[in-house]
Amino acid sequence: MAGDFTGGCQCGAVRFRAKRLGRASICHCRMCQKAYGGFFGPLVTGFGVTWTRGEPSWFQSSNKVRRGFCGQCGTPLAYDFGSSVLELSIGALDDPELATPAIQVNAASKLSFFDSLPALPVRQVGDNANADEFLVGIVSHQHPDHDTEHWPPAGGFAP
């Protein structure tokens, strides 16, 4: 998939651009589970990646791989295995819909309940008055899903 693909962290301190995206995957290994704080690591191969604002901090998670993340907000950003390409976090893309996973890897570490998740009930708006009330008026302080010249906004966040 060719084009200009952008993304970055929650706080906006680190932004990137990729010239092309390759195959997207979800990795079930325990290192990805811990690095993402989730059930798997969602990754897509990024070709021609450049850091356009800031740079990630790196953690050497194994003898062969280092993982890039924002040193300010902790957002997982990259998986570097020493190749000329980086694996990028799908959720860090400005448009994650562009990187539909095509394969699952390291299935031996897949959590036992993973395949049953789609059968869980879904809470809809109106199902829980307390939850609905909580969501009203939330103001996101996350960086928007597009490049910005300056961040955070000069006037701060609206109340």
Q: Tens digit of pLDDT for each residue in 73-110?
A: 999 999 999 988 899 999 999 999 999 999 999 999 99
The model's confidence at residue 140, banded by pLDDT at 50, 70 and 90, is confident
**Position 121 in a domain:** no
Residue 137 forms part of a structural domain: no
Residue 90 lies in a domain: yes
Number of domains in the chain: 1
Cα distances from 54 to residues 71, 120, 151, in angstroms, run 10, 39, 12
The mean of the pLDDT values for the chain is: 92
What pLDDT sits at residue 2?
Answer: 58
151 assigned to some structural domain: no
Q: What is the pLDDT of residues 51-71, one digit of tens each?
A: 999 999 999 999 999 999 999
Residue 119: inside a domain, yes or no? no
Supply the CATH number for residue 87's domain: 2.170.150.70
Query: 150 pLDDT exceeds 90?
Result: no
* Cβ–Cβ under 8 Å, residues 16 and 6: yes
Please check whether residue 150 lies inside any domain of the structure: no
Question: What is the C-alpha separation between 72 and 10, in angstroms, rounded?
Answer: 9
Residue among 103, 59, 101, 98 nearest 78 (CA): 59
